[in-house]
Amino acid sequence: MGGTPTAWSGDTPADWLIVGLGNPGKDYEHTRHNAGADAIAVLAARHGAKLKAANKEKATADVARVGAARVVLAVPMTYMNDSGIAVSLLAKRHNVDDVTRIVIVHDELDLEVGRLKLKEGGGLAGNNGLKSVKAHLHTDEFLRVRIGIGKPPGKQFGADHVLKRPGKAERQALLVSIEEAADAVEMIVAQGMAAAMNVVNART
């Protein structure tokens, strides 16, 4: 789905706020935990957006036209545990006051690598980024695009697993899921969450 980019401006309300979770800095680039941020990079490239520092909102962000919708694409500049700060500030700047118009793209330990699921509100599965978003939005009713990264092998701690870069074969599967996550965001924007869930969640 192509789009015509619009200027980065807070003057016009956005139709959607799409935020990909991750940790800042080169040490964390392309780790499992940054799958959400990587999906935003894919969306930005597809729609001619250039993510740049929005320091007041503690994020890198830009506004793009996705179909007929004006969409803010963003990645927090904070660490994962403080992701909600940027989400809340961006929602206020762009007048996205309907929480069901906020989509959080994130990695998911409870899904195997290569799996993608959409979720509307509900539990946070121990994800500290989602916990922060809930704390700052004062609700858990925001939408999620969950990119499977699988559980750690053996007795490896979850934190060690998510902060590492996957091996070559796993990376290829994850890259496919990241592209599919971008597809899913476009589907949500174009057709609504219910229709997108019917398509994405039915896949095996």
Residues with catalytic roles:
33
The candidate with the shortest Cα–Cα distance to 109, out of 148, 144, 161, 146, is 148
Phi, psi dihedrals of residue 101, rounded to the nearest 5°: -105, 15
By C-alpha distance, which of 143, 30, 25 is closest to 76? 25
Three-class DSSP category at 23: coil
Q: Would you state the structure tokens that stand for residue 165, as one six-digit string?
A: 């870069």
Q: What is the rounded distance in angstroms from the CA atom of residue 81 to the CA atom of residue 75? A: 13
The CA dihedral of 55, 124, 188, 92, to the nearest 10 degrees, is -30
**Cβ-contact 65, 6 below 8 angstroms:** yes
Closest to 194 (Cα-Cα) out of 119, 122, 142? 119
